[in-house]
Amino acid sequence: MNADVQAMGAAFAIAADVRARRRTAVSVVTAVIADIEARDTRFNSVTRILGPAAVAQAEEVDKAVAAGRDPGPLAGVPFGVKDLFDVCGEVTTAGSIVLRDNLPATQDATVVARLRAAGAVPVATLNMDEFAYGFSTENAHTGTTCNPHDTARLAGGSSGGSAASVAAGLLPFTLGSDTNGSIRIPSSLCGVWGLKPTYGQVPLRGVYPFVASLDVAGPMAATLADLQAVYAIMAGRTIDALPDVAGVRVARLGGWFASNISSEITAGIDAVMAHLGSGQVVELPEVARARASAFLISAAEGGNLHLPRLRRRSMQYDPATRARLMAGAMLPASTFVQAQRFRRWFRAQVHEALSQADVLVAPTTVGVAPRIDQPTIMVDGRSVPARANLGIFTQPVSLAGLPVLAAPLAVDGLPLGIQLIGAPDAEASLFAVAAELQRAGLLRCQPLDAGYARKDS
């Protein structure tokens, strides 16, 4: 992907072509669908192609252009949605056969509707961990999503299909959800941009819930410019200008966030901090308890949400998901209350850290994507399951409801990523820091084969 497209954004390059009649929306959409059909057999990132509906919407975009009407800033741009976002006319399965007999959605999720209104065209639903409960996109019903950079490795989860389809160059941007790291982890392992916005900022109407007190919807993209623009549309916000990076105070998280990480991630963060001219290190207290609290809150809320259905149809669930949901449903109320009390205390500690720095830098994962045939990672010298433990650095941050930009490090070989963490509603500072680090060559996303960028499609 060339520098001009990176700066402008792949999605906006497509929209500019469609608006200028250099390409038609129909040709873009049909070419992307053909590309998915030809190449996604290697990755298993897509669960359904929305062919007829996508082509019909693309035709409407082309009619608007021909009539001189404004089709929107994302005119004819194809995108995919994690299969827990309602798409009008489709059954929202949340990655499970348990919901496959439900009636089709009668309207789009709010964020899908906003993107449609901007001219973007949903073309596919994307693979995920069942009911978003996992970090690996290993799904007993829809199969495992493979990492495009090495198909013998996991893509991460639970928004693994969303990250993999961007990394493979099938789609310029996608939608995911993040409760404990489900946007940030696959973004890191697949080497794409991702954003977990401030909790409550992006509407969740029409998004199948997992943990209501933690769930956030956000975009994943091949370019930082697209990530910012799509986020603004999803949130209904305008980012007129980014702050001057020279005035943004940056610190790295130490302690828990400096342990168990690969030497390559350490070197990447060292380079980031050196470029930004900061040697400040901030340590958060009781991070292990914060992670445990996130586990307990997720288990309790998720388990209770699913308990009525588990009583009737438990054997239809993915066995790994079923076991975790049932265990969560049996947690005593006192445990949940204690976890919430700790959460309030920990949130105050994080806000104190953000009084010392505007942006905190942390690793996203301990290292590169685990192998599918050995889905484990090393933590404190022990081999532990990846599906439950890839969120070691993302879960504690989730408790505070802060915005986090998942940024791909400019490394050779398998992807690695970092988290840029900000104060509530301070997404602009995260984009400013990310843009400076990209300009300096320290952050980079390189999709394998961006078929949507080819103008001869």
Task: Please say whether the beta carbons of 303 and 325 come within 8 A.
Answer: yes
* Whether residue 355 lies in the annotated active site: no
Q: Which of 45, 96, 136, 158 is catalytic?
A: 158
**Inter-CA distances, 180 with 132, 292, 356, 438, Å:** 10, 11, 25, 26
Q: Are 284 and 349 in contact (CB under 8 A)?
A: yes
Question: By three-state DSSP, how is residue 265 classified?
Answer: helix
Torsion sign across C-alpha atoms 417, 421, 424, 428: negative
Q: Is 182 a catalytic residue?
A: yes
Active-site hit among 136, 182, 293, 298: 182
Per-residue CA distances from 262 to 256, 257, 378 (Å): 14, 12, 10
- 213 catalytic residue (yes or no): no
Give me 211's structure tokens.
Answer: 């943990």
User: What tokens does 447 get?
Assistant: 């999709």
| Cβ within 8 Å of residue 258, ≥6 positions away | 252, 266
Q: CA 157 to CA 72: how far, in whole Å?
A: 31
Cα 82-217-409 angle, rounded to 5 deg = 85
Strand 121-126 to strand 78-82: parallel, antiparallel, or no bridges (unpaired)?
Answer: parallel
Catalytic residue from among 82, 136, 293, 298: 82
DSSP 157-182: SSSHHHHHHHHTTS-SEEEEEESSST
Q: Which residues are catalytic?
A: 82, 158, 182
